[in-house]
């Protein structure tokens, strides 16, 4: 237990930013839009949240600032893709490059400054439980929120009329438009939600996971989140499972070094990305399963005038 509990706690902290980002991208893709700018939105949320917590001294203000940063970045993407009909793939890549560069510029005076980290919230009665209480009921607010968002998004997509409309737009935007639904508006809102979740993911990185600012501290997590959506077949509960699986792989290097396993640290650092590639290769072999689960209009532009 002396080894298991710290390892599990580390997995939870490593999985939480992946979970936020993947859930947001999943909702965006459910509307039929592919946003490859997750990494850029995450890193902007990280730096804005870190600047805000030092300027205000309030974690709440920092979280809202990070969410707003993610929304603003997503709005830029939505403007180009939905209004100017730019191609989704290069626009998303440009958003990532822009976010990485802008965050480095904004955070050049914040490098090396540490933060005390987000406070833990112990749930009365449950936090005292052996093992389980330590793992699941003595976490910070964003960990609880990430789990709650899985249930909320699952309920929204499968139990509400708005969720049905969102999925209808993603499956056939022409049919949804013919029925009188505003495809552009629905996709715009879905993109903004994805940006907000990416901002939360970035905030968790700079305020809880590694409470400090380091340039490019997202370290490719945005790309892993994109792969998680495909791995989970666009289902929220599977996103939760995948995030914790990849979170466990990403911290494996730390515990392997602590146990004295003679594998170079560089090789262990490659594991999350190698696992991502391997999973995508395995999934890509079953094209029929991807077509069955993926939104049919994913990546296809919509022109209401046509």
Q: What is the pTM of this model?
A: 0.92
Measured between alpha carbons, how far is 184 from 304 in angstroms, rounded to an integer?
A: 8
**What is the model's pLDDT at position 185?**
95
pLDDT at 1: 60
pLDDT at position 166 is: 96
Question: Is residue 63 packed enough to be buried (19+ CB in 10 Å), middle (13-18) or exposed (0-12)?
Answer: buried
Q: Which CATH number fits domain 4-114+137-293: 1.10.620, 2.60.470, 2.40.128, 1.10.3470?
A: 1.10.3470
Q: What is the pLDDT along the chain (306 residues), one digit of tens a residue?
A: 666 788 788 889 999 999 999 999 999 999 999 999 999 999 999 999 999 999 999 999 999 999 999 999 999 999 999 999 999 999 999 999 999 999 999 999 988 888 888 988 888 888 888 888 888 888 999 999 999 999 999 999 999 999 999 999 999 999 999 999 999 999 999 999 999 999 999 999 999 998 999 998 998 899 999 999 988 889 999 999 989 988 888 777 666 666 666 667 677 677 777 877 887 777 777 777 677 788 989 988 888 765
Map out the domains of the chain as residue ranges.
4-114+137-293
């Amino acid at each position: 237990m002396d080894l298991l509990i710290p390892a599990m706690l580390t997995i939870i902290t490593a999985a939480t930013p992946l979970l936020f980002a993947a859930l947001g991208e999943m909702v965006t893709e459910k509307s039929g839009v592919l946003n490859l700018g997750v990494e850029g939105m995450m890193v902007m949320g990280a730096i804005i949240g870190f600047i805000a917590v030092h300027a205000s001294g309030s974690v709440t203000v920092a979280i809202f600032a990070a969410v707003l940063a993610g929304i603003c970045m997503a709005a830029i993407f939505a403007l180009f893709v939905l209004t100017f009909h730019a191609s989704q793939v290069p626009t998303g890549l440009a958003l990532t490059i822009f976010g990485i560069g802008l965050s480095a510029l904004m955070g050049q005076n914040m490098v090396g400054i540490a933060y005390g980290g987000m406070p833990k919230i112990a749930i009365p009665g449950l936090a005292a439980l052996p093992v389980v209480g330590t793992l699941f009921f003595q976490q910070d607010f964003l960990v609880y929120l990430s789990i709650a968002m899985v249930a909320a998004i699952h309920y929204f997509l499968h139990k509400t009329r708005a969720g049905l409309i969102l999925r209808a737009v993603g499956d056939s935007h022409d049919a949804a438009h013919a029925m009188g639904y505003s495809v552009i508006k629905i996709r715009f809102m879905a993109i903004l939600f994805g940006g907000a979740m990416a901002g939360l993911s970035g905030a968790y990185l700079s305020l809880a996971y590694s409470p400090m600012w380091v340039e490019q501290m997202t370290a490719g997590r945005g790309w892993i989140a994109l792969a998680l959506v495909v791995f989970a077949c666009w289902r929220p509960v599977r996103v939760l499972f995948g995030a914790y699986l990849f979170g466990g792989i990403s911290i494996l290097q730390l515990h392997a070094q602590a146990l004295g396993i003679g594998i170079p640290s560089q090789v262990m650092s490659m594991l999350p990305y190698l696992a991502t590639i391997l999973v995508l290769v395995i999934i890509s072999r079953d094209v029929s399963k991807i077509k069955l689960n993926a939104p049919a209009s994913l990546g296809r532009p919509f022109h209401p005038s046509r």
